[in-house]
Structure 1
Amino acid sequence: MTIWVALLRGINVGGRRLAMADVRDLFRAAGCDDVRTYVQSGNVVFHADATAEAETALAADLSRRIGEHCGYEVPVMLRTGEQLAATIEHCPYPTGGDPTRLVVSFATRPVEPADVEGALASAGPGEDLTFIGRDLYLWLPDGQGRSPLVQALAKRPAGREFTARNWRTVTTLAEWSAA
């Protein structure tokens, strides 16, 4: 069985409530085992028979189940435990400081220059971004709340799905998913 990390986009914000107990039940109904959730923002670690090659089908199935349950679309970004470990290993920014200042946006497909075009020009003082594969790393020395870079990235191209997690969440999920 493969250890997976699911990152649900857009839940428990803006009135879109979804209980983590319901999320765990939905994942179990999809055939997932050892389902654990971390905080209320849609972070799930689980085991499933699906291989990395079957990731797209698994993500679509989980998204469909969640959407049917709550009545709105919930994109699901998946990474294997190994892929999440690689995200940490390849981080281009210092990781020893405040973990809320370093953010990773997880995408459904590899990040292209056009996906972030113009965003860096909007960056606030000291803000930076780097993309590697499906991961977009953001260095936000003043946090996410009023970041011009985050606001510029929120205007993403149609058909592109991202969901962001701070470094504390990323490292916790990696610990939970370590084989």
Structure 2
Amino acid sequence: MTTWVALLRGVNVGGITIRSADLGALFREQGFDDVRTFLASGNVRFETDAAAVHRAALKSRIEAALRDRFSYDAWIVLVTRSELDAAIDGFPFDADNPARQPWVVFCTDEATRTELAAAAASLDPSVDPISTGPGVVYWNPVKGTTVDTPFAKMLAKARYKATTTNRNLRTLVKIAS
């Protein structure tokens, strides 16, 4: 069995509301085991016999089920538990700095991660501290600026809607525990 984490993009914001109980039920109905939802922001940990080599098919299956059940254009980033742990362990900034927000931006493909990292290289690191890891971009902006910085505005572009989602490091630690 492989433990997976589905990170849904755009849930419980912008008019798309999905209750955690309904989300968990959908995953159980799909035949997944040990389903657990976290917070109200579209985070689901589950187990299935699908190995990482079957990620694309599993992702498509879950997105189709979400679209059918909740009538919205669903996009998810799907990571294994070990990939989640590596993303948490690799956070390169001071996660305990109370003045900063520790974010991890998950990318569905290497091209997106590379593009974001290249664009971020020209940004002011005091405003948009950026680093990369396998499948992720780490971002550590000042609290209260996460929608206003140049990197935030870049992430908000429609072109990244289907290929990224971000989570606060503290949320990821809860999912992993």
TM-score for the superposition, normalised by structure 1:
0.87
CA distance in 2: counterparts of 1:58 and 1:2, whole angstroms: 12
CA distance in 2: counterparts of 1:156 and 1:116, whole angstroms: 17
Offset at 1:97? 2.5
CA distance in 2: counterparts of 1:127 and 1:114, whole angstroms: 16
Q: Residue 129 of structure 1 contacts residue 136 of structure 1 at CA under 8 Å; is this kept in 2?
A: yes
The alignment covers a number of residue pairs equal to 175
Gaps of 5+ in 1: none
Gaps of 5+ in 2: none
Q: 1:151 aligns with which of 150, 153, 164?
A: 153
Query: 1:40 matched to which residue of 2?
Result: 40
Counting aligned pairs with the same residue, the percent is 33
Q: Residue 129 of structure 2 contacts residue 139 of structure 2 at CA under 8 Å; is this kept in 1?
A: yes
Query: 1:53 matched to which residue of 2?
Result: 53
SS of 1:118's equivalent in the other structure is helix
Cα deviations by residue, 1:111-170 (Å, 9 ceiling, x for unpaired): 443234434545574321112221111011234143332112222646851001011101
Q: Residue 103 of structure 2 contacts residue 139 of structure 2 at CA under 8 Å; is this kept in 1?
A: yes
Cα deviations by residue, 1:60-82 (Å, 9 ceiling, x for unpaired): 10110000111121111111111
Offset at 1:100? 6.4
CA RMSD of aligned residues (A): 2.2
Q: Residue 104 of structure 2 contacts residue 168 of structure 2 at CA under 8 Å; is this kept in 1?
A: yes
Q: Aligned partner of 1:60: which letter?
A: S
